[in-house]
């Protein structure tokens, strides 16, 4: 950070001006998808996904094992019994893992690899202010500031941009306006939406959004120190015992790290959570889910651990 401030008294004017430059480097790392899926393989016991709604998982047929009183009670009593029985047996009802990807080719990383971004965010600020003591009892302050915080620039381009069919960034304002026009005409506006790494977007922009250079902050204020020594105004304000102040200004805030680094890292593409509900002993999911990176599903490792025979899994590209 480089900063310089100068104060100068000239007659009845108190002048202040200066500027700041900050070169901010932010390194954000995480091991989860922002929800409940982590980058380590998790075997979840009896958390749901079992056939017949019994939370057992693995499509285990519990017929004949349920005590008569529990079976007759039904409802939550029966579901709780299924859950506790599955936990006692170690039967998983859900396996999951979050795969992470890198730029620029979105290559899948090994299980356990964290996802991270390293962004540079320059910041510039200039200001000028004058406190002018126009009279012994009246001071006028005015000034102007300007600031710009550049968009984050990730070292390897790990920033996701939502794009339309033309691979150009989607403008929220233009999108909502198009939907409004279509609705008024009795039509539907529902274009295809995709996601691209920032450097793959049409035009190859440097930033995920355009910098805003119009952050000019004007300021004007006044302070009056009434000088009444008698009469009603003297009783109301006193002799130099009251100061009346007022002013107006426009201020532009800066975004914090959540909006600049954390949220973009959770965008589509960089973290891919994979879940298998009711995993079967042959290495497949009873719900038919097969979406996974080109690696083995986590429940296959669980099958090998238990000594179950392995089964073929259709690993489709995301």
* Residue 18, pLDDT score: 98
Beta strands in 177-215 (DSSP E): 194-197
Tens of pLDDT along 218-247? 999 999 988 877 777 666 777 777 888 999
pLDDT band at 287 (very low <50, low <70, confident <90, very high): low
What would the pLDDT profile of 189-212 be if each residue is shown by its tens digit? Answer: 999 999 999 999 999 999 999 999
More confident residue, 311 or 147: 147
Helix (H, G, I), strand (E, B) or coil at 279: strand
Residue scoring higher pLDDT (315 or 72):
72
**Contact present, 271 and 33 (Cβ < 8 Å):** yes
Quick one: 295 exposed, middle or buried, by C-beta within 10 A (0-12, 13-18, 19+)?
middle
Question: Around Cβ 31, how many Cβ atoms within 10 Å?
Answer: 15
The confidence score (pLDDT) of residue 47 equals 52
Q: Where are the domains of the chain?
A: 1-46+94-152+211-281, 160-207
The answer to whether the beta carbons of residues 146 and 211 sit under 8 Å apart is no
Non-local CB neighbours of 64 within 8 Å, separated by 6+ positions: none
Q: How far apart are CA 162 and CA 167, in angstroms?
A: 9
The rounded Cα 297 to chain-centroid distance in angstroms is 27
Confidence of residue 44 (pLDDT cuts 50, 70, 90): confident
Higher pLDDT, 149 or 283: 149
DSSP state of 200: G
């Amino acid at each position: 950070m480089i900063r310089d401030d100068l104060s100068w008294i000239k007659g009845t004017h108190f002048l202040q001006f200066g500027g700041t430059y900050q070169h901010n480097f932010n390194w954000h790392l995480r091991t989860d998808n922002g929800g409940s899926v982590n980058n380590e393989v998790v075997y979840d016991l009896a958390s749901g996904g079992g056939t017949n709604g019994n939370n057992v998982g693995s499509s285990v047929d519990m017929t004949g094992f349920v005590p008569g009183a529990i079976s007759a009670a039904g409802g939550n009593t029966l579901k709780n019994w299924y859950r506790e029985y599955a936990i006692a047996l170690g039967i998983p009802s859900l396996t999951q893992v979050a795969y992470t990807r890198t730029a620029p080719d979105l290559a899948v990383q090994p299980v356990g690899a964290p996802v991270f971004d390293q962004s540079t965010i320059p910041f510039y600020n200039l200001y000028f202010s004058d406190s002018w003591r126009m009279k012994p009892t009246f001071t006028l302050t005015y000034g102007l500031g300007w600031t710009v915080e550049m968009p984050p620039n990730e070292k390897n381009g790990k920033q996701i941009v939502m794009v339309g069919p033309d691979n150009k960034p989607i403008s929220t304002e233009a999108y909502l306006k198009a939907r409004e026009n279509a609705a008024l005409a009795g039509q539907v506006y529902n274009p295809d939406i995709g996601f691209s790494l920032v450097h793959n977007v049409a035009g190859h922009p440097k930033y995920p959004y355009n910098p805003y250079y119009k952050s000019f902050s004007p300021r004007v204020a006044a302070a009056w120190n009434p000088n009444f020594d008698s009469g009603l105004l003297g009783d109301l304000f006193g002799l130099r015992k009251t100061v009346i102040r007022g002013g107006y200004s426009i201020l532009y805030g800066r975004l914090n790290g959540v909006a600049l680094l954390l949220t973009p890292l959770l965008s589509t593409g960089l973290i891919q959570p994979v879940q298998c509900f009711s995993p079967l002993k042959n290495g497949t999911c009873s719900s038919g889910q097969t979406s996974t990176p080109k690696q083995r599903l986590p429940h296959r490792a669980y099958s090998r651990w238990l000594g179950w025979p392995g089964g073929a899994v259709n690993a489709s590209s995301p």
